[in-house]
Structure 1
Amino acid sequence: MTRTVHVLAFPNAQVLDVTGPLQVFASCNDLARQRGLPLPYAVSVIAAQTEPVMTSAGLALVAEPLPAVDAPCDTLVIAGGWGVYNAADDPSLVAWVRDKARHTRRMTSVCTGAFLLAASGLLDGCRVATHWTRCEELAKRFPSLTVEANPIFIQQGSVWTSAGVTAGIDLCLALVEEDLGRAVALEVARHLVVFLKRPGGQSQFSATLALQEGGSRFAELHAWIAEHLTLDLNIATLASQAGMSERSFVRHYRAETGQTPARAVELIRVETARRQLADSSASIKRIAVQCGFGSEETLRRSFLRALDVTPQAYRERFSAPV
């Protein structure tokens, strides 16, 4: 079954709001081609205008005309960007979105695309995500919405909304998981989201992503760990955060992730330290403290255990040139 996916663009759309979701679905097709399977998606960029659509980045997009309202559609993705305000004030486009929803399985918005989706009335009474800088504005303009600043994306039945820019990729990966399963979504994520473009033999994939291989039960816990690395992340603390007894937590966590909680915490700390070593000029000692290792020596041992390289050697090989 090939699912029709339209990405709706407009003048001064954010280019990544269009190309990010587009590439997620295109990558699913690439995987299918490699395996001689039918393509799971038929993807197109659409717009109300016939001439090329100029994005806010200055890149012009050649879009297809808006399809007929009653043409079947699996998923409509509405991009965001500064041009969304004019788009949301266009009665004909708003009416098209509203009417199109009756013939579309899933309606989604990326970033400030929520303004156009809200103008159509499709978000009335819903919990909604958008770019954190526009949450207050969206809530004020559409008081029937419950606008939340923290989630990356929110699903309300057949309607999905996401936070800013790259969160649209996370949202579309969730759509792929719903359609094609977790394994395909993770494979696409490895290619698009956490791929290291620098050469070398180090791990290319997110430790947090790897920990979710077995399931997403502890996804929120992993996100919490990444935000609280300087705490004493012992079993009692983690079990309390997960809302489980210590014994039950340890048993279920290992069954889900294939790792002990202590090893998982170490991997997430190492991953965070890797990014800081590559992207900042902070001292290794300071990074060790910020990532919860306590000392430079503890950081060094963890790096050797996880990556078979010292922090200093990793920085020399993978840091961006000054």
Structure 2
Amino acid sequence: MHQIGLIVYPGFQVLGLAMCAAFELANSAGDEPLYRMALLSETGGLVQTSAGFAVQTEAFDQRGFDTLLVMGDNLIRPTTPGMLEFLRRASLGTRRLGSICTGANALAEAGLLDGRRATTHWAHVPAFRKAYPNVKVEEDRIFINDGHLWTAAGMSACVDLALALVEMDLGGDVARKVARQLVVYHRRSGGQSQFSVMLELAPKTDRIQAALNYAKQNLKAALTVEELASAANLSPRQFSRVFHAETGQSPAKAIESLRVESARLMMESGRHSIDVVAADTGFGDRERMRRAFIRAFGQPPQVIQRASRG
């Protein structure tokens, strides 16, 4: 029996409780329940969620847990001395210790993430980096496992983390079955800040949308302004003006963003070489792609490729 303790506190983000569904469904994979879950808080009793209702919890004690996970919050709140003491003590005997979203702040404040790789919600990364310079923060990961420590990004990433823990305990077949029951991906490709370029550009007319659709389907081609203008049924001069007015970007910048997004997806979802990715996404050569990645992410493709396999 795997004992899972979810550590909560007043105002914690209620979506974190969604991960319980993954463990609940995994319990149906065997003849007997495989997981037992408990909600823990410093003093026990009712604890209010971010949604306004309260949940019943058990107070911290000396029980042993296989896995302990600190829930996240919409805000960054100070960690109480009692919580820090509990986490430090638990880190000595708990097989897996982890966090969701801003729960990483509690682990970091307890000194448990020093020298470790970790992630948190993308919106809180700058403040986290400043507060905990000894932590190796990777802002574009859904979750990270470093030794016995697991950290996840914000919001729905809690389900991704739960599925990864189920896979570790019970195997890939069970994790895939649970994912299908939850109607989610077993493994999401891409990082937490991977907002679709098409959505970010948000063209207002069908003509510009048509040009972007054409570009996305033909990234391997040169994609000149003349080609895109033809797809939009506009003159090149008119196309450039309308495109910038609707998207706030030049056609060249938008195409580079589409290529970068496509290249990163290829690297994260497969074992393609840098040269193959550069060719298939229209960069032509690895040096041109390297410069585009540094502009977009501040890191070369090799670093992102290694991180996706970590």
- 1:174 has 2:164 as partner: yes
Q: Go from structure 1 to structure 2 and tell me whether the alpha carbon gap of 1:243 and 1:42 turns closer, same or farther (over 3 Å shift).
A: same
Q: CA deviation at 1:227?
A: 7.0
Question: Which position in structure 1 is the counterpart of 2:178?
Answer: 188
Q: CA deviation at 1:220?
A: 6.3
Q: Please state whether the residue corresponding to 2:66 is helix, strand or coil.
A: strand
Question: Which position in structure 1 is the counterpart of 2:106?
Answer: 116
* TM-score when normalising by structure 1: 0.60
Q: Please state whether the residue corresponding to 1:242 is helix, strand or coil.
A: coil
Q: Contact 2:45–2:58 at 8 Å: present in 1 too? A: no
Gaps in structure 2 of 5+ consecutive residues: 199-212, 221-262, 278-310
1:63 corresponds to which of 48, 52, 57 = 57
Question: Which position in structure 2 is the counterpart of 1:43?
Answer: 37
Question: Which position in structure 2 is the counterpart of 1:128?
Answer: 118
- 1:242 has 2:242 as partner: no
Aligned 1:219-234 pairs, distance under 5 A: 230=216, 232=218
- 1:150 has 2:180 as partner: no
- 1:99 has 2:89 as partner: yes
- 1:80 has 2:69 as partner: no
Distance across 2 between alignment mates of 1:148 and 1:245:
25
Distance across 2 between alignment mates of 1:244 and 1:133:
29
Question: Which position in structure 1 is the counterpart of 2:28?
Answer: 30
Distance across 2 between alignment mates of 1:151 and 1:244:
20
Q: Please state whether the residue corresponding to 2:77 is helix, strand or coil.
A: helix
Gaps in structure 1 of 5+ consecutive residues: 195-205, 250-322
Question: Which position in structure 2 is the counterpart of 1:20?
Answer: 18
Q: Contact 1:127–1:154 at 8 Å: present in 2 too? A: yes
- What letter is aligned with 1:189? A
Query: Alpha carbon RMSD of aligned pairs, Å?
Result: 3.0
Q: Contact 1:5–1:75 at 8 Å: present in 2 too? A: yes
Q: Go from structure 1 to structure 2 and tell me whether the alpha carbon gap of 1:227 and 1:58 turns closer, same or farther (over 3 Å shift).
A: same
Q: Please state whether the residue corresponding to 1:189 is helix, strand or coil.
A: helix
Cα deviation digits, residues 157-180 of structure 1 (max 9, x gap)? 110101111001101101111110
Distance across 1 between alignment mates of 2:183 and 2:159:
8
1:54 corresponds to which of 48, 53, 69 = 48
* TM-score when normalising by structure 2: 0.62
Q: Please state whether the residue corresponding to 2:68 is helix, strand or coil.
A: strand
Distance across 1 between alignment mates of 2:3 and 2:109:
24
Cα deviation digits, residues 96-151 of structure 1 (max 9, x gap)? 11111111000110011001111111101112110111001111111111222111
Q: CA deviation at 1:73?
A: 1.5
% identical equivalent positions: 33
Distance across 2 between alignment mates of 1:140 and 1:172:
28
Aligned 1:271-310 pairs, distance under 5 A: none
Distance across 2 between alignment mates of 1:21 and 1:146:
25
Q: Please state whether the residue corresponding to 1:137 is helix, strand or coil.
A: helix
Distance across 1 between alignment mates of 2:25 and 2:127:
34
Q: CA deviation at 1:72?
A: 2.3
Q: Please state whether the residue corresponding to 1:63 is helix, strand or coil.
A: strand
Distance across 2 between alignment mates of 1:110 and 1:55:
15
Cα deviation digits, residues 191-228 of structure 1 (max 9, x gap)? 2243xxxxxxxxxxx6xx5xx7xxx9xx569x99x879
Question: Which position in structure 2 is the counterpart of 1:307?
Answer: none
Q: CA deviation at 1:244?
A: 7.9
Q: Please state whether the residue corresponding to 2:45 is helix, strand or coil.
A: coil
Number of aligned residue pairs: give it.
Answer: 214
Q: Which runs of 4+ in 1 moved over 3 A?
A: 226-229, 231-234, 237-241
